[in-house]
Amino acid sequence: MKKKIIENLKTLFYALLIALFIRSFFFQPFYIPSSSMEPNLLIGDRLFVSKYSYGYSKHSLPFSPKIYNGRILAKTPKRGDVIVFKTPADNRTDYIKRLIGLPGDRIQFINQDLYLNDKKIKRKLVESTLTINCGNNILDVNYFEETLPNGKKYIAVYRKEGSMINSGKFIVPDYHYFFMGDNRDCSKDSRFLSSVGYVNFNNFVGKAQLIFFSNDKEKGSFFKLWKWNQILRFDRFLKKIK
C-alpha cells in the first residue's frame, strides 16, 4: 500500500513538472475578465497565449522570479498583435491589449482620428447602430475596421458621444511599446501614463493565439447542463484571435 502511494505521488509530481514546463515555455491559458477588448474578446473567453512568440523573460515563469532581467531568444512583435503583458505599475497584474506603437513611434488622436507617425490610420465604418458593454454600462458606439501600416486589420469601437477627440502626442521610448484596447472608450491602457503607460519589452508574457472555450456567466452557471445552449458560446470555440 505504501509503495502504491509513493508511486502515485511520483506520477503526480512528474505530471506537475510537465504542466509547469508547458505553461512556462509553450502555452498558458488566460481568462478574459473585462470588456476592454470587445467585440473581439468577450468576458468569459478562455484563450491560449504562446509564451515563445517574443522570447522569454522572468515573466514567462510563474511568480516572475528575479533570476534574469533581460529577454532570451527575443523576437520582434508586430503592430496589431494581441499581447498579454504585466502592467508596469506593479509588474504582477496581467493585461491583454492590442499593440499599436513600436519604439520611437508617435501616437496621437486628432478630431477623433488615430494618427501614427503623423499619418491618419485608415478606418472604415462597419456598423453605427450597435451597443457595447463597459462594466455595468452600455455604450452607443460605432464599429470601425482599422488598418495599420503593416496591413493588419481589426475591429475597434468608439463611443458616438464622449469619445477621445484630441490628445497630446505619445512618443514611445526605446525598448517600450504602446497598447490600446479595442473597446477604445472602455480601456485602461498606454494612454493612461500614470497607471499603464509605455510597456517595457521585458514585461511581455506572450501572444494571444486561440480562444479554446467561452461561456456567458450572465446567462447562468456552467453547471446548469440543461442551459448549455444559452450559456456556452460554441461559435467561439477554437476561434483564432486576429
Phi-psi region of 101 (alpha: psi -120 to 50; beta: other; left: phi over 0): beta
- Whether the ω angle into residue 77 lies within 30 degrees of 0, i.e. cis, is no
Give the Cα separation of 9 and 180 in Å (integer). 45
User: Do 39 and 132 touch, CB atoms closer than 8 A?
Assistant: yes
User: Do 72 and 58 touch, CB atoms closer than 8 A?
Assistant: no
Question: Which residues are CB-contacts of 142 (< 8 A; sequence separation ≥ 6)?
Answer: 125, 127, 128, 157, 158, 160
> What are residue 57's phi and psi, to 5 degrees?
-130, -175
Q: Is position 227 annotated as part of the catalytic site?
A: no
Instruction: Considering the candidates 51, 58, 86, 97, report the single residue annotated as catalytic.
Output: 97
User: Do 185 and 134 touch, CB atoms closer than 8 A?
Assistant: yes
What grid cell was written down for 108?
496621437
What grid cell was written down for 43?
468576458
Give the Cα separation of 36 and 186 in Å (integer). 5
Instruction: Considering the candidates 34, 36, 57, 214, report the single residue annotated as catalytic.
Output: 36
Q: Is position 128 annotated as part of the catalytic site?
A: no
Sign of the CA dihedral 44, 46, 51, 57? Answer: positive
User: Which has the closest alpha carbon to 209: 26, 63, 64?
Assistant: 26
Catalytically active residues, by annotation:
36, 97
